[in-house]
Chain A
């Protein structure tokens, strides 16, 4: 059943996000084209192409920022619609456990976010390449990868992944709670914002308790100091913490769906 749920989740996301990625691609092409034309126009008088390039660049930047937030917002909105609104009459009467529903939504939502951010990152690299800076960016990441050590990279990846899942489940839990109390849209938004802020505060407090927060801000100095073991240990602890938070959130959502479902 989990496979079938994932099939429909991905089907919906592909249907919805293909157009957003298409718009992103179109803006990217427009910006690069305008830049190339602006370079040619530099020698001649008038700046119409430059103005057009600037407008496209601004639109591209705004759209990129929107896409970053839209991806998470869309997944949270879909969770609410599919589980706690009218579609919930169909979803919650399927012969599927609430656990399978939530796991499917987390996997699909997480994959969607990863794809979005890869598309954005690839788009940015193409943009910089279009500006003639592609090789510099490529060599920077090449150096970074060459410095990577599995003892450092793996725990960092785990901490990041579990942290991301915990944030996503935090939003889902906020939606479930707002649905349970039957709040208005304003209350739901407040709950979402509150959940996010609470999560950020807790994470910062935990980071501060490591006593040496500079390791998380200066990648090069970190690698240069060759303190893989310290970082790895702390990343594993962070992974455990994120996992515990995610499990608690998961259990909370399952409890609400099983016992406090309040479909509108």
Chain B
């Protein structure tokens, strides 16, 4: 069709005014100048096309890209099937939150959250600023205790036993600046039985970060890389990454996402908290969206795209349009 172009990455035909490829998710250019959709086809649920060959492929939309959406997700009756947290077939329970609330004074960061997270997935924990993503992550890694309700990880209450199973990357530099890289490797080796030191050392060598370097003298980017390598070098059951790609350049972003996918144990789960969905969408298997401390939707990434015929980014925008 004359209003379509070929994606330079995957070769699929996409609307000419698309900002990103609907199949492989790469960014193509600036935002469209017109809000009018081109050759809009009636919304139809289509089958997932295995010939696309990637976990993020979904059916071709005929020239659809518009903020003036005639079929918002929020009024779609099919949204209901994604509003209850449940495990997918073949998944074992890893995290269970039951009526969990966390309040700071009069403000509820989390409110009656019911959540089930299974093993073996890369999960995007999505939500706008202040939705409760970081609070949830801190509760899971034991830095906060819920005001009410309960949370279990692998069937155990949060404590030293679960901390041994969880690998956490906060959204800030947390390694003592007086330590050298070698000392922090020793530290992790001493306290975490699942720490894969040879892997960490190989990664650091590839990044040309010497083990005798003092953390204080490394650049911010290198400090974050060291932290990421340490966290992902653990053979943990659950990885909690809080805004791992915020504030980094696009090259570093690709490196971080590649490291996450390559280094984590396939039988474990990775929860990535972010609001930069466009960058993270290609790596996600599952999505959890939180709004005002409550679960809005949880579901398989492909299933969401197939059901609503939109990217996760678009679904996110529609769900959180009022925020």
Question: A interface vs B, CB < 8 Å?
Answer: 1, 4, 7-8, 12, 15, 82, 86-90, 92-97, 258-259, 261, 263
Q: Once the chains bind, are A89 and B160 in contact (CB under 8 Å)?
A: no
User: Is B192 on the interface with A (CB-CB < 8 A)?
Assistant: yes
16 A-B pairs (CB sep. < 8 Å): A4-B191, A15-B178, A88-B174, A89-B168, A89-B172, A90-B174, A93-B143, A93-B163, A93-B166, A93-B168, A94-B191, A95-B163, A95-B164, A258-B145, A261-B144, A261-B145
Q: Report the minimal beta-carbon distance from A246 to chain B, rounded to whole angstroms.
A: 24
Determine if A87 and B176 form an interchain contact, defined as CB atoms under 8 angstroms apart: yes
Beyond A8-B187, A95-B161, 9 additional pairs, beta carbon < 8 A: A8-B190, A86-B174, A87-B175, A90-B175, A92-B142, A95-B191, A97-B159, A97-B160, A261-B143
**When the two chains form the complex, which single residue of B141, B175, B187 contacts A93, counting CB atoms closer than 8 Å?**
B141
The CB with the most chain A CB atoms within 10 A, among B164, B173, B175, B176, is that of: B176
| B interface, CB within 8 angstroms of A | 141-145, 159-161, 163-164, 166, 168, 170, 172-176, 178, 187, 190-192
Contact A1 B191 (CB under 8 A): yes
**Interchain Cβ contacts within 8 Å, total number:** 52
A4 touches B145 (CB 8 A): no
Cross-chain contact of A95 among B144, B160, B178 (Cβ < 8 A): B160
Best-buried of A7, A82, A94, A261 by chain B (most CB within 10 Å) = A94
Task: State the CA gap A166–B119 with chains docked (Å).
Answer: 46
Query: With a CB–CB cut-off of 8 A, which chain B residues contact A15?
Result: 178
| B178 CB contacts on chain A under 8 angstroms | 12, 15
Assembly CA distance A96 to B173 (angstroms): 21
- Chain A residue with Cβ nearest B190: A4
A-side contacts of B144, CB under 8 Å: 261
CB distance from A80 to the nearest CB of B (A): 13
**B176 and A90 within 8 A (CB):** yes
Q: In the complex, are the beta carbons of B160 and A96 less than 8 A apart?
A: yes
A86 contacts B160, CB within 8 Å?
A: no
A263 and B143 contacting across the interface, CB-CB below 8 Å = yes
- Which residues in B have their C-beta under 8 angstroms from that of A89? 143, 168, 170, 172, 174
Q: Contact: A259 with B145, CB < 8 Å? A: yes
User: What A residues does B163 contact at CB under 8 A?
Assistant: 93-96
Q: Which residue of A lies closest to B191 (CB)?
A: A94
Across the interface, which residues of B come within 8 angstroms of A7, CB to CB? 190
Output the least CB separation between A17 and chain B (Å). 13
Chain A residues lying within 8 Å of B191, measured Cβ to Cβ, are 1, 4, 94-96
- Nearest A residue to B175, CB-CB: A90
Which residue of chain A has the shortest Cβ distance to B230 in the bound complex? A90
Complex Cα gap A93–B176 (Å): 14
Residue of B nearest to A16 (CB): B178
Residues of the A chain whose Cβ atoms lie less than 8 Å from the Cβ of B174: 86-90
Q: Which of A82, A89, A263 has the most CB atoms of chain B within a 10 A radius of its CB?
A: A89
Could you tell me the distance between the alpha carbons of A18 and B178 in the complex, rounded to whole angstroms? 15
Interface core residue of B163, B168, B174 (most chain A CB under 10 Å): B174
**The 8 A-B residue pairs with the shortest CB-CB distance in the complex, in nearest-first order:** A89-B174, A95-B164, A95-B163, A95-B160, A89-B170, A4-B190, A90-B174, A94-B191
